[in-house]
């Protein structure tokens, strides 16, 4: 049978991508769109910012920024507070983010497990996934205590200074872990932050041996976090569960009991998503 004239010569070529889809050169970048995305990302880290302040922070002219913000505002990605003359991230950004979370059942299946973990421990429970060299917090169930940890969905934290981040690093494929440790800067947030690569590797080895990680005031003074990895059906650490709270409540003598609760919760979520846990002490 003759091939239709309009059929591509390479029928196996993936739909939705041009032939040079893997070309990351500047010619394939839409500069104005890239600039707009940079503005949106920066605005998402602020609790409201004026146009002049945003201009100083990003090194862009107010005229350029206004055009970008006005365009994003038409899509509800940003919004303007007329009374305070401040720009904020908009509801449209949340809607897009929520759609991203619906790509996987991980967040949905984690919710009841996070709630049980919070009720059992009395501390805020968190779910995070790796995004490059950071942890992206995607879900949280807050404790009822007045003093509590707060990592709203969308919060980013460096892998090396996070309980979930270190749990993911510890059970990450060795080559990937090594690349992250050698190619990224490790910012010091407190006197307890593990910035030295040798000390961090020793800590990761300890985490692999016992099955859980501790953020010992490494990101924020006065806060302690205990985390364990969640695995997919390939035995890959794809997420982490944690409980976090002030050191006045999360005391050293409570760590063993809290760690057991966190590891049990992580194992439950691993099973819920059809995953296969990796035995402590081993690497994928």
Long-range (24+ apart) CB contacts under 8 A made by 195-202 are: 195/160, 200/160
Long-range (24+ apart) CB contacts under 8 A made by 219-222 are: 219/157, 219/158, 219/161, 219/162, 219/189, 219/190, 219/193, 220/189, 220/190, 221/190, 221/192, 222/246, 222/247, 222/248
User: Three-state DSSP class for 88?
Assistant: strand
**Between residues 28 and 96, the one the model is more confident about:** 96
Cβ neighbors of 134 (< 8 A, separation 6 or more) are: 156, 157, 158, 159, 165
pTM attached to this predicted model: 0.67
**Between residues 3 and 61, the one the model is more confident about:** 61
Biggest distance spanned by C-alpha atoms of the chain: 77
| H helix count then E strand count, the chain | 9, 8
pLDDT at 284: 46
How does residue 9 score in pLDDT terms, banded at 50, 70 and 90? very low
Take residue 212 and report the two structure tokens written for it: 């859980």
pLDDT at 25: 55
pLDDT at 11: 46
Rounded to an integer, the average pLDDT of 233-258 is 94
Rounded to an integer, the average pLDDT of 81-91 is 93
275: pLDDT strictly greater than 90: no
Structural domains in the chain, CATH included, are 28-95 (1.10.10.10), 104-272 (3.30.450.40)
Sheet strands (E) in the chain: 78-81, 86-89, 124-131, 134-141, 156-158, 213-216, 223-231, 237-246
pLDDT at 14: 52
Rounded to an integer, the average pLDDT of 148-169 is 88
Each residue of 41-50: pLDDT tens digit?
999 888 899 9
Q: For residues 284 and 174, give the distance between their C-alpha atoms in angstroms, rounded to a whole number.
A: 8
């Amino acid at each position: 049978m003759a091939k239709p004239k309009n059929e591509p010569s390479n029928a196996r070529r993936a739909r939705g991508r041009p032939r040079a889809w893997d070309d990351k050169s500047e010619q394939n970048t839409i500069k104005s769109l890239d600039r707009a995305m940079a503005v949106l990302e920066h605005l998402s880290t602020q609790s409201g910012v004026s146009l002049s302040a945003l201009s100083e922070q990003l090194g862009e002219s107010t005229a350029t920024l206004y055009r970008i913000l006005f365009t994003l505002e038409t899509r509800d990605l940003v919004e303007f507070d007329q009374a305070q003359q401040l720009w904020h991230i908009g509801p449209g950004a949340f809607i897009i983010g929520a759609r991203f979370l619906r790509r996987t059942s991980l967040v949905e299946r984690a919710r009841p497990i996070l709630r049980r973990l919070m009720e059992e421990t009395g501390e805020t429970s968190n779910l995070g996934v790796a995004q490059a060299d950071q942890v992206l917090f995607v879900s949280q169930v807050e404790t009822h205590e007045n003093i509590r940890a707060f990592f709203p969905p969308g919060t980013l934290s460096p892998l090396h200074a996070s309980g979930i981040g270190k749990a993911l690093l510890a059970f990450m494929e060795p080559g990937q872990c090594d690349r992250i440790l050698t190619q990224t800067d490790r910012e010091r947030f407190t006197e307890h932050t593990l910035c030295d690569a040798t000390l961090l590797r020793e800590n990761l080895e300890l985490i692999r041996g016992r099955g859980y990680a501790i953020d010992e005031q490494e990101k924020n003074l006065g806060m302690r976090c205990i985390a364990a990895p969640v695995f997919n059906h390939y035995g890959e650490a794809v997420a982490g569960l944690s409980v976090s709270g002030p050191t006045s409540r999360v005391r050293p003598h409570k760590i063993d009991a809290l760690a057991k609760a966190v590891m049990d919760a992580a194992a439950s979520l691993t099973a819920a998503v059809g995953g296969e846990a990796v035995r402590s002490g081993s690497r994928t």
